[in-house]
Amino acid sequence: MSDTWNFSFIASLYSVTPGHKGRIGISLVEGGIDNDGWLQVMTDTRLIKPVNFRFDYVSHTDRRITYNISSSSDTGFYRGAAVGKNFNHYVGLFPGGTSEPWLVKPMGEWGDHDVLRLKLYDTYECSIGNYRHSDGMDYLNVISGENLEFEAHVLRVLS
């Protein structure tokens, strides 16, 4: 893997998986913190709001790049909130939480840094998927659901 992968950036994230296409946003419901902050493919802009992500480079191997990922948006009270997962493996934003590293597998070349095609995995190498919950909503989950492929639309390269 070349040193061209060694950079941090801010980007909007999109699922490009057929049947699950759309920008990744967060749930913002009136139910409070227990129902807010879960990452979802945006289908209902009344309940899901767009968010941009900060990918802070940690390290890389020949197969994966490790990043700490957090929110760079002022949506809700989630600026700086770490992307993490709960005990049921749902992926969300955790204000004040410590960021767990995420593994990124590049799909193709990352030459121009404008649009980066990738897959996301937790530290156990479980792929992020789109899971239909019993409430009828789809949530990102690292154990259940259709595995997703993403595009990061880079807004700014940090280093």
Q: What is the mean pLDDT of each run of 10 residues along the chain (159 residues)?
A: 71 95 86 73 80 95 90 87 92 82 88 86 95 86 95 92
Farthest CA pair distance, the chain: 46
**Whole-number pLDDT of residue 30:** 61
**Whole-number pLDDT of residue 2:** 46
In the chain, the domains with their CATH numbers are 3-157 (2.80.10.50)
**Whole-number pLDDT of residue 133:** 84
**Whole-number pLDDT of residue 102:** 96
Phi, psi for residue 5 in degrees, rounded to 5: -90, -5
**Whole-number pLDDT of residue 23:** 94
**Whole-number pLDDT of residue 13:** 97
**Cα 128-1-112 angle, rounded to 5 deg:** 80
Closest to 155 measured CA to CA, from 5, 6, 4, 14: 14
Distance CA 10, CA 116 (A): 12
**pTM to 2 decimals?**
0.90
**Whole-number pLDDT of residue 147:** 96
